[in-house]
C-alpha cells in the first residue's frame, strides 16, 4: 500500500500556517531549496518527503515537467518538531479512489 502524502497546501493547513509562510520557514531551516523541492540531507529521504513529478501543457513552451514536494506522515511530524509547531490530528486513512496519481521520483 502506498504511503499517504500531503502537498504543501495540505501540510500548511495541518500545521496552522499559511502555505507561503510554511514554505519560507522550511527554506530558512534548510529543508527546502529555492524551488521548494527537498534540499541537502532531505533529498532522496522518502521516509520524510517525496517528489511527485508530472507534465503539463504550457501554451508557449509546450509540454513542461514539474516537481512537487509531498510530505509523509513522518515528514509532517519532523517538520512540526523542526519548526516548533503544533500538528493538528491527521485525518484518518481512507481508501483512495482509482484516479491518476503523479509518479513519485526517488530524488
Question: Whole-angstrom Cα distance, residue 54 to residue 64?
Answer: 8
**Helical axes 19-28 vs 73-83, angle rounded to 10°:** 70
Composition of the chain by helix, strand, coil, percent to 5 = 30, 25, 45
Which residue from 28, 66, 67 is spatially nearest to 49, judged by alpha carbons? 67
Which is higher by pLDDT, 99 or 10? 10
44-72 mean pLDDT: 94
Sketch the domain layout of the chain as residue ranges.
5-87
Contact, 55 vs 45, CB < 8 A? no
- pLDDT class of 2 with cuts at 50, 70, 90: confident
- Does residue 26 carry a pLDDT above 70? yes
- What pLDDT does residue 105 have? 61
Amino acid at each position: 500500500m502506498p504511503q499517504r502524502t500531503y502537498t504543501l497546501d495540505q501540510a500548511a493547513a495541518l500545521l496552522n500556517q499559511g502555505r507561503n509562510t510554511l514554505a519560507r520557514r522550511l527554506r530558512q531551516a534548510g529543508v527546502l531549496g529555492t524551488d521548494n523541492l527537498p534540499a541537502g540531507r532531505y533529498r532522496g529521504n522518502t521516509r520524510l518527503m517525496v517528489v511527485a513529478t508530472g507534465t503539463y501543457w504550457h501554451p508557449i513552451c509546450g509540454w513542461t515537467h514539474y516537481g512537487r514536494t509531498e510530505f509523509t506522515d513522518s515528514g509532517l511530524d519532523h517538520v512540526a518538531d523542526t519548526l516548533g509547531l503544533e500538528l493538528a490530528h491527521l485525518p484518518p486513512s481512507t481508501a483512495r479512489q482509482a484516479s491518476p496519481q503523479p509518479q513519485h521520483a526517488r530524488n
